[in-house]
Chain A
Amino acid sequence: MSHQRYPSHDAVKEPHMVSLKVLRLSRPSLVAQYPLQPPPSRSTAHHRPPPIPASLAYSPDAADNGSTTSHHSSNPSPFILSPIVNLPPSFGSAYVGETFSCTLCANHDITPLVPSDGLTKTTNLLPTTPQVSKTIRDVRIEAEMKTPNSPTVTRLALHPDEQKPAADTLAPGETLQRVVNFDLKEEGNHVLAVTVSYYEATDVSGRVRTFRKLYQFICKASLVVRTKPGPLTVGSKGARRWVLEAQLENCSEDAMQLERVGLEVERGLVYRDCNSWGSTGGKPVLHPGEVEQVCFVVEEEKDGEDGGVEETDGKVVFGVLGIGWRTEMGNRGFLSTGKLGTRHVKPKVAVS
């Protein structure tokens, strides 16, 4: 996520006392480990010693006395995955259908008065009054998202809500942390704009200061859906039937597991899911570039009084196809197609 600092709103050229740092909160990831046996010893002891502790993802429970063969150990060594998690190491890729989460941290940065290693640049210190005590309060964070196809920006809700009383001060070294979520629905350039404002008070005066940072990222499509409707022979009660096929292609860089694929049909229609994996487990996993084909039979509901589905200009609208998936560590994605339908409408069969 590239970012730039927006030209500061205030005329003062002094450095800000508050800094803003962000981290995209994708799901944390399980840490991999490669357990190693200690070097071969000449004594031919006929049991396998526990692995070198440093080759495990974390040190075992102290109560286990270092023994990873213990039944109490949470580490499934020698398996490659361990239950300890890492924060996201990088921004990664953003995909349509996912929820973008990001944490925003407004920090009262401490100006190092005593350079700890002698390397601190003196330009960081306020040149005239380095010892002046300033109070920071009324820190506010606002976040907006600019999407490619919308002329306006979306104001994002902040979590946890603004519980802090407005007059609360942010002590040196303290952080005001908020989390924002945004459902990604469009491909292309997104800009997250974060505005931080705060009141900077000295003993004798005070002022409101504001700065704004922009973070730009590109959202890509992760699932391409191709659909093909086709007619079927008339059903048992004389109801018209169609088949709706869809190909779901994973065009992201990660494997995904389809969680559910379903139709939301229009009034007067029912459908049957022809995909056996829906209920019986064994959900399909799509590696990058792989395609899963799904199929539904859509049928007119003949029991209803109004008898069947509305037609406009010889076109029958089936409804929308919704696809939900999960990626690494359970990250969710969901998208639904536009209204699907067909022009190849067989004439209504006259009921004799």
Chain B
Amino acid sequence: MEQPQDSIPKGHNRTRSAVKATRPRSSTKGPLDADDAPLASPLSPQQATRMLPLGLGRPQSPGLRRSGASSPLPRSATQSPAPRRLAPRPKDFSYLLRPEIYHPLTPLNVPPPFRNSPKQPSADTPIPDLLARGQFRAAAIAATQALTGPGAPNPADHVRIFELLYTRLACLTLIDATGLAAQEVKTLEDLNSAYYVDELTGLHLVPWELRVLNVRLQAMGFGDPRRAVMSYYDLAREARVRVAEATARHDNSARELWKDRLADLGIRVAGALVEMDDLTGAAHHLASLRDREDGKLAMSKALLWLHLGDVESARRCVRTEKAGEKAERIVAALCDMADGEYEAALGKWRELREVSDDEMVGVNMGVCLLYVGKMQEGRALLEGLVDAGRSSHTLLFNLTTMYELCTERARTLKMKLSEKVAAMDESPNGWEKANADFKL
């Protein structure tokens, strides 16, 4: 693997950079190494917990050191007998404020109807507004400007810096620029490093959302998908500690939050395995997770079986597990498609469509219509969904594929479609689209 240090240009930083002095090398710990991160210390031995299934297992014994994790304050700390150790210097995150780590985003892959729309935001639109309007490219740019521009946050203001960084990276993945995000995320280096831990509270300075997103992006950026699985387990270990802490102080809402996060990580490990093409591994992993009674786990398993081609198992798993009636019908229709029984599947989608306004049902029915030789009806159906305000990437991709099939001059139809979508209201579902969405 590439040495993360290499990604930091060494040229101009003549000032005695606290960053380099204090930030340790990226750790290369194996499961059997002692872990000196303070977060991990309550659990001992580490090895035993490292590879526990991610289900909501019995909470571990709560941490002894921080029974009130949120309470320690510098003020009270100074009253302790060793005041010199407890006045840490503020951490310097100026390495995240360097303009050269952020890539410029070209507007050229945005279709003209969006680029030239009066709905394009002005440069001073606040980021939350941009997110609410689904203008993620603009939000990504605004986040960079906020990080590197004249009003850049204080290098010690980690809350603001990480919030902006998360916005930047998340928006990049939303505008199909995940590759760029995977490059930019490398600057964070090793989030397990002690540098990211508050020395007083022992809490991690990086918000949870960013730590979770960082796992997938760094695995991509360093070309090591296996790393994602390991890193999710690292996070899960911490989540389990937090569950235990919250239980110990009878903080039910915090406990639910961390249990939720733990369950989320469990599903994400399965996703990482799917991305590694280890589908059987993912199936085994999903089988080890505890069902949260919302039918999602059964649906996830069924989709994984279908992806693998095991239609029988997909059918069985929604039948035997409590997936809910609608999920069962959806999986049954998908199974028919997997068996090549498109007429039967079409009938099922038609029935579902009568009772549900789900975009997925409409799109899948449109796809089925193409397979049974009724593309014109399918096209009309998908166009109807666009007219009703739907604009998912999948809907647009399938509709433009049909346009390509039904005329030599598909470009005109694609342009018209992009005009129609650009005229839609801004929404958090995403307003601005890319050329690739219309196969332009």
Across the interface, do A329 and B409 meet the contact criterion of CB distance under 8 Å?
no
Distance in angstroms between the alpha carbons of A23 and B371 in the assembled complex: 10
B213 within 8 A of partner (CB): yes
* Residues in chain A near residue B207, CB distance under 8 A: 40
- Judge whether B339 and A58 touch: CB under 8 Å: no
Which of B1-9, B25-33, B55-63, B167-175 is near enough to bind chain A? B167-175
The answer to whether B300 touches A81, judged by C-beta atoms less than 8 angstroms apart, is: yes
Nearest A residue to B403 via CB reads: A21
Indicate if the CB atoms of A61 and B356 lie closer than 8 Å. yes
For the complex with contacts A40-B209, A89-B397, A112-B412, 20 further pairs of A-B residues with Cβ separation under 8 Å are A38-B209, A40-B210, A52-B174, A53-B428, A54-B430, A55-B170, A69-B294, A74-B358, A76-B299, A109-B407, A175-B375, A175-B406, A177-B405, A179-B371, A255-B279, A255-B308, A326-B310, A328-B309, A329-B306, A329-B337
Distance (whole angstroms) from the CB of A216 to the closest CB of chain B: 19
- From DSSP, what is the main secondary structure of chain A's interface residues? loop
Residue of B nearest to A288 (CB): B277
Tell me if A27 and B337 are in contact (CB < 8 A).
yes
Contact A39 B166, CB 8 Å, known A34-B173, A46-B257, A58-B360? yes
A52: chain B residues within 8 A (beta carbon): 131, 170, 174, 428
A-B contact pairs, 18 of them (CB 8 A): A21-B408, A28-B371, A32-B274, A36-B209, A46-B257, A53-B427, A54-B134, A55-B174, A58-B360, A58-B390, A60-B359, A74-B326, A81-B274, A85-B337, A86-B397, A87-B397, A330-B340, A331-B338
Bound Cα distance from A324 to B47, whole angstroms: 43
A47 vs B390: C-alpha distance when bound (angstroms): 28
Assess whether A285 is interfacial by the CB under 8 Å rule. yes
- Binary contact track B305-348/A, C-beta < 8 Å → 1, others 0: 01111110100000000001011001100110111100000000
Interface flags for B161-186 (1: CB within 8 Å of A; 0: not) read 01100110010011000100000000
Q: Contact at B307–A30, with CB atoms within 8 Å?
A: yes
A273 to B: closest C-beta gap in Å: 18
Chain A residues near B248 (CB-CB < 8 A):
none
Are B267 and A87 neighbours in the complex by a CB distance under 8 Å?
no
Shortest beta-carbon distance from A141 to chain B in Å: 11
A257 touches B326 (CB 8 A): no
Whether A79 lies near B271 (C-beta < 8 A) is: yes
In the complex, A125→B334 CA distance in Å?
44
Residues of A within 8 A of B340 (CB): 27, 99, 330, 332
Asked whether A37 is an interface residue with its Cβ less than 8 Å from the other chain, the reply is yes
Give Cα A81–Cα B296 distance, bound, in whole angstroms: 11
Please report which residues of chain A, range 68-120, place their CB below 8 angstroms from some CB of chain B when the two chains form the complex. 69, 71-72, 74-87, 89, 99, 103, 105, 107, 109-110, 112, 116-117
**5 tightest A-B contacts by CB?**
A330-B338, A80-B271, A326-B309, A46-B253, A54-B430
Give the shortest distance, in Å, between A230 (CB) and chain B (any CB).
Answer: 31
Q: Which of B358, B404, B416 has the most CB of A within 10 A?
A: B358
Whole-angstrom distance between the Cβ of A4 and the nearest chain B Cβ: 16
Determine the distance from Cα of A46 to Cα of B260 in the docked complex, in whole angstroms: 10
State A255–B340 Cα separation when bound (angstroms). Answer: 19
Which residues of B lie under 8 Å from residue A339 when comparing CB positions? none
Q: How far is the CB of A137 from chain B (nearest CB, A)?
A: 17
Kindly state the separation between the CA atoms of A174 and B429 in the bound complex, as whole angstroms.
33
The digit string for A148-165, where 1 denotes a CB below 8 A from any CB of B, is 000000000001100000
Assuming the contacts A36-B174, A79-B296, asked whether A327 and B309 have C-beta atoms less than 8 A apart, the reply is yes
Which A residues have a C-beta under 8 Å from some C-beta of B? 19, 21-23, 25, 27-28, 30-32, 34, 36-40, 42, 46-48, 52-55, 57-63, 69, 71-72, 74-87, 89, 99, 103, 105, 107, 109-110, 112, 116-117, 159-160, 173-175, 177-179, 255-257, 281, 283, 285, 287, 325-332
Q: Mark B381-424, 1 if CB is under 8 A from A, else 0.
A: 00000000010111101100110111111001001100000000
In angstroms, Cα B303 to Cα A63, docked, is 23
A330 near B257 with CB under 8 A, answer no
- Determine if B408 and A55 form an interchain contact, defined as CB atoms under 8 angstroms apart: no
Instruction: Please state if B405 and A21 are interface contacts (CB–CB under 8 Å).
Output: yes
Q: Which of A75, A79, A109 is in CB contact (< 8 Å) with B409? A: A109
Is B375 a contact partner of A48 (Cβ separation < 8 A)? no
Interface size on B, residues (CB 8 A): 99
Selected from B304, B309, B376, the residue in CB contact (under 8 A) with A256 is B309
Q: Across the interface, which residues of A come within 8 angstroms of B270, CB to CB?
A: 79-80
B295 at the interface (CB under 8 A from A): yes
B229: interface (CB < 8 Å): no
Query: Is B294's CB under 8 angstroms from A58's CB?
Result: no
B364 within 8 A of A: yes
Please report the C-alpha to C-alpha distance between residue A62 and residue B360 in the assembled complex, in whole angstroms.
12
- Complex interface bits, B185-224 against A, C-beta within 8 A gives 1, otherwise 0: 0000000000000000000000111101100100000000
Q: Is A78 a contact partner of B337 (Cβ separation < 8 A)?
A: no
Q: Which B residues touch A54, using CB under 8 A?
A: 134, 136, 174, 428-430
Instruction: From known contacts A81-B300, A87-B397, infer whether A330 and B311 are also in contact, taking CB-CB under 8 Å.
Output: yes
Q: How far is the CB of B179 from chain A (nearest CB, A)?
A: 13
Min CB gap A294→B, angstroms:
18
Determine if B376 and A175 form an interchain contact, defined as CB atoms under 8 angstroms apart.
yes
Contact between A39 and B279, CB atoms less than 8 A apart: no
Are A79 and B210 closer than 8 Å at their CB atoms? no
Q: Min CB distance, A91 to chain B, in Å? A: 13
Asked whether B230 is an interface residue with its Cβ less than 8 Å from the other chain, the reply is: no
Tell whether B146 is near chain A: CB-to-CB under 8 Å: no
Distance in Å: Cβ of B154 to nearest Cβ of chain A = 16
Contacts of A77 on B, CB cut-off 8 Å? 296
A39 pairs with B170, CB closer than 8 A: yes
A25 to B371, Cβ gap below 8 A?
A: yes
> Closest chain A residue to B273 by CB distance?
A80
Interface residues of B in 256-303 (CB under 8 A from A): 256-257, 260-261, 264, 267-268, 270-271, 274-275, 277, 279-280, 294-297, 299-300, 303
CB distance from B418 to the nearest CB of A (A): 12
- Output the least CB separation between A123 and chain B (Å): 13
Indicate if the CB atoms of A84 and B364 lie closer than 8 Å. yes
A59-B392 CB under 8 A given contacts A39-B167, A47-B256, A84-B364? yes
**Closest chain A residue, CB of each to CB of B439:** A89
Report the Cα distance A159→B372, complex, angstroms: 8
Whether A329 lies near B303 (C-beta < 8 A) is no
Q: Tell me if B142 counts as interface (CB < 8 A to partner A).
A: no
A residues near B402, Cβ cutoff 8 Å: 87
B334 touches A81 (CB 8 A): no
**Minimum Cβ distance to chain B for residue A206 (Å):** 23
Chain A residues with Cβ below 8 Å from B274 are: 32, 80-81
- Verify if B159 is at the interface (C-beta below 8 Å from A): yes
Q: A109-B407, A329-B338 are in contact. Are A79 and B267 (CB under 8 A)?
A: yes
Does B236 have its Cβ within 8 Å of any Cβ on chain A?
Answer: no
Residues of B with C-beta under 8 A to A177: 373-376, 405
B69 interface residue (CB < 8 Å to A): no
For the complex, give the distance between the alpha carbons of A52 and B172 in Å.
13
| B54 in the interface (beta carbon within 8 A) | no
- Taking the nearest CB of chain A, how far is it from the CB of B428, in angstroms? 5
Whether the Cβ atoms of A47 and B309 lie closer than 8 Å is no
Minimum distance in angstroms from A331 CB to a CB of chain B: 7
